[in-house]
Amino acid sequence: MTELVATILWQRLDVPGHDACRLIRQDDGWELHGHAIFEHEGEPCSLAYAALCDKRWQARSACVRGFRGARDLSLEIERNIDDDWLLNGAVQPGLADLIDVDLGFTPATNLLALRRFDLAIGQDTPAPAAYLAFPELKLIRLEQHYRRQSEAEYSYQGPMFGYDEVLQVAPVGFVTDYPNLWRGKLG
């Protein structure tokens, strides 16, 4: 069974760009499929992405295809049976305890952690993730933290970036307002 659950279109707020994404339910889990088009340091970027999770929202893999300026990009991210994270087949050290994947150029992958944690109002949690840094294209550990403030609001801290804002989140889990970065509308 394949079921389209939701779609969203985001507008990038800090540079020209947008991102469109679909959330799909499969028999064995969940899939995000999207395409981010934006400007980075004066260069056009076009990045198609997919992220796959099991039924419990635990990330299994992600891929990114596209370009940044004249440079073609093709990245495969996966968690193997030993819980190691691999980037294009190479084990990435120090990430084996992580469950979530976060693609640094899109707000789409925040949905994965938000759905997996399923926080009640007032609850909070650290949410470290295997983070694909952009434009470096390295898979690194990202320390982050969520606190659910209301049905639609989550306090989010990403200390690596000095980011501390309240995200607006749709019931399906897509972030609809990522202050100063993205604003989205469900399809």
Question: What is the band of 1 on the pLDDT scale with cuts at 50, 70, 90?
Answer: confident
Question: How high is the pLDDT of residue 104?
Answer: 96
Give the closest residue to 98 by CA, choosing from 64, 55, 134, 127.
127
Q: What is the pLDDT of residues 109-164, one digit of tens each?
A: 999 999 999 999 999 999 999 999 999 999 999 999 999 999 999 999 999 999 99
Model-level pTM? 0.95
Neighbours of 5 (CB within 10 A): 12
Q: What is the pLDDT of residues 47-82, one digit of tens each?
A: 999 999 999 999 999 999 999 999 999 999 999 999
Contacts of 138 (CB under 8 A, 6+ apart): 87, 132
Q: What would you report as the CA-atom Rg of the chain, rounded to the nearest whole angstrom?
A: 16
Q: Please provide the DSSP assignment of the chain as one string.
A: -EEEEEEEEEEESSSSEEEEEEEEEETTEEEEEEEEEEEETTEEEEEEEEEEE-TT--EEEEEEEEEETTEEEEEEEEE-TT--EEETTEEETT-TT--EEEETT-STTHHHHHHHH-PPTT-EEE--EEEEETTTTEEEEE--EEEE-SSSEEEEEEGGGTEEEEEEE-TTS-EEEETTTEEEEE-
